[in-house]
Amino acid sequence: MIETLIFLIFAGLALASALVVVLHRNAVYSTMSLVVTLISLAVLFVLLGAPFIAALQVLIYTGAIVVLFLFVVMLLNVGREEIGEQRGLVQKGAAVLGAAVLLVVVGLTYMEGYGGAELAPLDEELVSLPGLAAELFGRYLLTFELVGLLLLVAVIAATVLAARPRPAVPAEGDVLAEAPEGREPGADDGGLAEPAGTPGGAV
Amino acid sequence: MVPIAWYLLLAALLFAIGTAGALTRRNGITIFLSIELMLNSVNLTLVAYSRLLDDRTGQLVVFFVLAVAAAEAAVGLALFIAVYRHRRTIDLDRVNLLRW
């Protein structure tokens, strides 16, 4: 009874905030309402006997990913979608129609896979964290390591992509020719005296 | 006890909302948010089936999806910053060189 109530509250909350994410013109509001969706889903994960996934959802999604989104939204100052040439009504209608068709197809597929099976009472084995960890570091160890590698590659890629581009190339020759002499006096302090990121500034 | 079908229906609805958002919005960030929404609806499906089948594999897949989503968000947002630096906009109707 109380479980049904909790489900209804948070399912409604998730749906409403998902609509706000998609419909609101201001990207900051969209991002903040994605937080509500994600936390509601975390509650549903707990109901489904996955407290660890729920904790990860709160920590990783709302704690890290959404903060990153918010940071970029504010950094680029794209709070508001520029008013102006709107997408045509035809395109919007087509998108909504496509989403509706997708909903029906996905829903039917889910229902078929579900097959109306009776739900067994929550098994302690399913909820237990040691069991999950044993499987994660046993059968899925290679996947786990690969995901770690993927995250490393992503960090490097993000750093390279978002780094400020180097100053114009023409100054490079002069700097290369001059730098050894220019740096000689300051060699003792390990090059700290000169800002390392601005080779163009030395000219 | 809440039937699993309700969770599946909720997940399908969230996925459809995310799809509609990704197809109609012009702001790159909002499209990205819609995609995160779709990812999460799939996570809900996986956890729901893991509960129904009494099998942990669904939860483990969600774990990996979370990690990959984090990587994707980092790279994607860095791309947006790089695009913004060149074009002064992330309106995807104007950054459309690679779009069909």
Per-residue pLDDT of chain A (203 residues; tens, 9 = 90+): 888 999 999 999 999 999 999 988 888 999 999 999 999 999 999 999 899 999 999 999 998 899 999 998 888 877 565 555 566 778 788 888 888 888 888 888 877 776 666 677 777 777 888 888 998 999 999 999 999 999 999 999 999 988 887 766 655 555 444 444 444 444 444 444 444 444 444 43
* Predicted-complex ipTM score: 0.91
Long-range contacts of B89-95 (CB under 8 A, 24+ apart): B89/A82, B90/A76, B90/A78, B90/B27, B90/B28, B90/B29, B91/A81, B91/A82, B91/B26, B91/B27, B91/B28, B92/B26, B92/B27, B92/B28, B92/B31, B93/A85, B93/A87, B93/B26, B95/B28
Whether residue B92 is contained in a domain is answered as no
What is the span of the domain harbouring residue B29? 4-87
- B59 contacts chain A (CB < 8 A): yes
The CATH number of whichever domain residue A13 belongs to comes to 1.20.120.1200
In a domain, A202, yes or no: no
A119:B16 CB<8 A: no
Q: Alpha-carbon distance B21 to A99, whole Å? A: 9
Cβ–Cβ under 8 Å, residues B35 and B18: yes
Q: A123 in helix, strand or coil? A: coil
Residue B99 in domain: no
Residue type at A75? L
Write the residue in B37, B48, B72 that is nearest to A18 by C-beta.
Answer: B37
What is the per-residue pLDDT for A188?
47
Among A14, A150, A162, the residue with its CB nearest the CB of B78 is: A162
Owning domain of residue A141 = 128-166
- Token pair recorded at residue B7: 């969770």
- Give how far A198 is from chain B: nearest CA, Å: 19
The pTM of the full predicted model, rounded to 2 decimals, is: 0.81
The answer as to whether A106 is a domain residue is no
**CATH number, residue B34:** 1.10.287.3510
Domains in chain B, number: 1
